[in-house]
Copies of this chain bind each other. A is one copy, B any other.
Amino acid sequence: MEHNGQQVGRPRDSRVDEAITAAVQELLSEVGYAGLTVAAVAERAGIGKASIYRRYATKHEMIFAAIIHGEVLEVPPDTGSLLEDLTALARVIVGHLSNPAAAGALMSLLGEIAADPTLAERFTTTFVEPERAGNAELLERAVRRGELERLPDMDLFHAMFGGTVLSWLFISHHDPHDLPERLARFACAALRSTAHQPLPSN
Residue of B112, B166, B200 touching A34 (CB-CB under 8 A): B112
A111 to chain B, nearest CB (A): 3
CB nearest neighbor in B for A121: B173
Residues on B with C-beta less than 8 A from A159 are 164, 167-168, 171-172, 174
Residues on B with C-beta less than 8 A from A83 are 201
Query: Residue among A111, A166, A174, A190 with the most chain B CB within 10 A?
Result: A111
Check if A197 is an interface residue, CB within 8 A of chain B. Answer: yes
Q: Please, what's the 1-or-0 string for A107-145, where 1 marks a CB less than 8 Å from any CB in chain B? A: 111111111100010001001100010000000000000
Check if A183 is an interface residue, CB within 8 A of chain B. Answer: yes
Residues on B with C-beta less than 8 A from A183 are 156, 160
**Across the interface, do A171 and B182 meet the contact criterion of CB distance under 8 Å?**
no
Check if A155 is an interface residue, CB within 8 A of chain B. Answer: yes
A103, B33: Cα distance in complex, Å: 19
A102 to chain B, nearest CB (A): 10
